[in-house]
Each structure stands twice: as C-alpha cells, then as structure tokens.
C-alpha cells in the first residue's frame, strides 16, 4: 500500500517522459515538413513561376509591334522583376539558413521601386487601361460602313452607320453571310480570290442592297485579318450621281463645242472662198495691169528709140551744116 503511490508517480513520470519524447518527435517532423513544403517547395514554386512568367512576358513583348504596347510591357516587366528577383533571392537565402534579418529592410524599398515602375506605366502610358471599350465606341461611331466577317463571310460585327445605311437591325444582319447583301452573289468569291492574290488589302467598288433592295454603291477597302476579313466602305452614291451629272454636262458642252466648231468651219470655208475669189480677182487685176504696164513700157521703148534716132539725125544734120559752113568759108576766102 505504501509503495502504490510511489509506483503511480513513477508510472506518471515514465508516461510524461514518453509523451514528451513523442511530442518532440512530432514537432521535429512538423518542422521538417514545414521547412520542406513551406520554405523549399514554396520557394521553388515561386522561382519557377517567376521564370515562367518572365519567359511569357518576353515572348509576348517580342510579338508586340506598337510602340505604346512595347513601352507598357517594358514598365510592367521591370516593375514585376524588381520585387520578384529580390523576393526570390531572400527566399533562397532563407532556405540555406543565412540570416537575412539585418537586410530584410531592403525588401520594402525594392517592392516600392517595382510598384513605382508599374505606377509610371499606368500614369504615363495607360498600363492596365482597357482600350476595348474605347475601340468599340470608336468602331460604333465611325462615319463609314464597317463590317467584320470570318473567313467564310459570316458577319461578326457591324457599326451603327452600316445598320443605318442598309436599314437593318443588328440581329437581322448578324451571323448572315455577307454575300446576301451584295447586288450579285458572285461578288464575295471574286473578292476573296482577289484578296488572296493581292495580299493583305485591296480597294473595290461594291454595290450593297438595303432591306428595301435599294442599291447603294460603296468604295470599299477590304483587309485580311488573322481570323477574318474587314470591310470599310464609303458611300459614293452622291459622288457617282455628281459624276453622272458632270458627265452629262461635259457631253452637252462637247456637243455645243462640236456644233460651234461645225458652224465655225462653215464660216471659215465661206470666208476662205471669199478670200480665194478676192485673191483670184486681184491676181486677174494684177495680170491685166501688168499687161497694160507692159504696153506702156513697149510704147516708151519705141518712143525712146524714135527719140534717140531723131537726136542722132539732128547731130548728123548739125555736123553737115557745120561742114557746109566750113566749105562756104573756104570758098569765100578763095574768091
């Protein structure tokens, strides 16, 4: 009886010792599991997904063509890398049991620097701003016909001006084949063939049919997108009407000019005839006058010959008179 309490105490001590030993083992195992799963695996997962995210970001960055998008991507990559790399370094240091207590204060500034780059991207370059709503508003408000189809010609998107011009509701035109709205069914296959030959874009005059089957011509720019075809058209009905009026006016003016030319040619011919007759008359008068002058010249020549002969005769007579005078003088002297 006296030994029973002592034995109980000894049993309690042994049990407590065994329990403490088992608890210590459990704690030790828990610490090992915590170190492995929380510290090591989490760090590895963190680094793995950091590298994977970086690869995807760089891959995405290389495909960007817009300067704005590339600038946004640069700010986001830098802003994500600074805290990511510093966080990964601190995790790896903690895994290999290096005391980072005295440098842990650096985490705050580096994370802040990363957030600063992201903030600059947001404020300066519109990072994280969803432009889809803006683009959709612009698309809907465009003043030209816009139709987006898939490669088979099924209409995916239209804007308000398209619905207004063709007088359809969106549910009436959506998912319909675009060839149903052309004047001729052969227009769509022909366009696809031309687009295939020419490349990314071409410009064609297309005639669309309204709900009331009214024909509206559009000067349409057709572009090939990755998953479909985009048509942007400008209503040229008024332009064609103006061109038709202008053509009629030109034809009218041309006709008037031809008539005026004909009248002028007749007048020119008549005047030419008059001038020719006048020229012929003048030529005849010149010939007549020339004949008269020729006669006068001949008369003058005859008169000249007569005058010259008379003068010669007078000179001869004078000479004879002089000779006679000399002869008489000589006879007088002899007498």
Question: Would you state the pLDDT for residue 208?
Answer: 92
N-to-C CA span, the chain: 247
User: Tokens in use for 19?
Assistant: 């329990």
SS (H, E, C) the chain: CCHHHHHHHHHHHHHHHHHHHHHHHHHHHHHHHHHHHHHHHHHHHHHHHHHHHHHHHHHHHHHCCCHHHHHHHHHHHHHHHHHHHHHHHHHHHHHCCCCCCCCHHHHHHHHHHHHHHHHHHHHHHCCCCCCHHHHHHHHHHCCCEEEEEECCCEEEEECHHHHHHHCCCHHHHCCCEHHHHECCCCHHHHHHHHHHHHCCEEEEEEEEECCCCCEEEEEEEEEECCCEEEEEEEECHHHHHHHHHHHHHHHHHHHHHHHHHHHHHHHHHHHHHHHHHHHHHHHHHHHHHHHHHHHHHHHHHHHHHHHHHHHHHHHHHHHHHHHHHHHHHHHHHHC
Cβ-count burial of 246 within 10 angstroms (0-12 exposed, 13-18 middle, 19+ buried)?
exposed
Residues 170 and 163 sit within 8 Å (Cβ to Cβ)? yes
Question: Would you state the pLDDT for residue 66?
Answer: 64
Question: Would you state the pLDDT for residue 75?
Answer: 72
Cβ count near 12 (within 10 Å): 10
Residues 178 and 206 sit within 8 Å (Cβ to Cβ)? no
d(CA 104, CA 313): 159
d(CA 312, CA 154): 126
Strand, coil or helix: 155: strand
Question: Would you state the pLDDT for residue 95?
Answer: 61
User: Tokens in use for 119?
Assistant: 């903030």
Question: Would you state the pLDDT for residue 319?
Answer: 82
Question: Would you state the pLDDT for residue 97?
Answer: 62
Say which residue the tokens 């990559």 belong to: 77
Cβ count near 121 (within 10 Å): 21
Cβ count near 124 (within 10 Å): 11
The model's pTM: 0.44
Mean pLDDT by 10 residues, the chain (335 residues): 54 57 58 55 66 76 72 73 69 63 61 62 55 61 81 85 88 86 86 81 88 90 82 87 89 90 88 86 84 82 73 77 78 67
Pairing of strands 201-209, 215-224: antiparallel
């Amino acid at each position: 009886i006296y030994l029973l309490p002592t034995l109980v105490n000894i049993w309690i001590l042994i049990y407590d010792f065994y329990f403490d030993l088992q608890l210590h083992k459990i704690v030790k195992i828990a610490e090992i599991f915590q170190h492995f799963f929380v510290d090591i695996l989490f760090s590895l997962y963190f680094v793995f997904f950091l590298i994977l995210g970086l690869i995807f970001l760089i891959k995405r960055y290389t495909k960007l063509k817009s300067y704005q998008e590339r600038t946004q991507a640069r700010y986001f990559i830098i802003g994500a890398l600074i805290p990511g790399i510093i966080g990964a370094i601190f995790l790896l240091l903690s895994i290999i049991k290096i005391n980072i207590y005295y440098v842990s204060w650096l985490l705050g500034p580096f994370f802040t620097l990363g957030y600063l780059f992201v903030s600059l991207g947001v404020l300066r370059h519109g990072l994280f701003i969803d432009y889809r709503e803006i683009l959709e508003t612009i698309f809907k408000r465009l003043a030209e016909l816009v139709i987006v189809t898939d490669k088979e010609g099924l209409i995916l998107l239209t804007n308000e001006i398209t619905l207004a011009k063709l007088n359809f509701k969106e549910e009436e035109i959506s998912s319909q084949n675009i060839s149903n709205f052309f004047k001729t069914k052969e227009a769509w296959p022909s366009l696809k063939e031309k687009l295939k030959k020419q490349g990314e874009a071409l410009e064609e005059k297309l005639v669309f049919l309204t709900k009331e089957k009214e024909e509206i011509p559009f000067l349409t720019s057709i572009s090939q997108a990755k998953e479909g075809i985009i048509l942007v058209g400008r209503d040229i009905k008024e332009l064609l009407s103006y061109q038709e009026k202008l053509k009629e006016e030109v034809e009218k003016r041309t006709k008037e000019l031809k008539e005026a030319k004909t009248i002028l040619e007749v007048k020119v011919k008549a005047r030419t005839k008059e001038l020719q007759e006048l020229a012929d008359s003048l030529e005849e008068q010149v010939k007549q006058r020339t004949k008269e002058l020729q006669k006068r010249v001949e008369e003058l020549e005859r008169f000249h010959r007569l005058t010259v002969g008379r003068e010669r005769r007078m000179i001869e007579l004078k000479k004879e008179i002089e000779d006679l005078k000399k002869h008489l003088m000589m006879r007088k002297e002899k007498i």
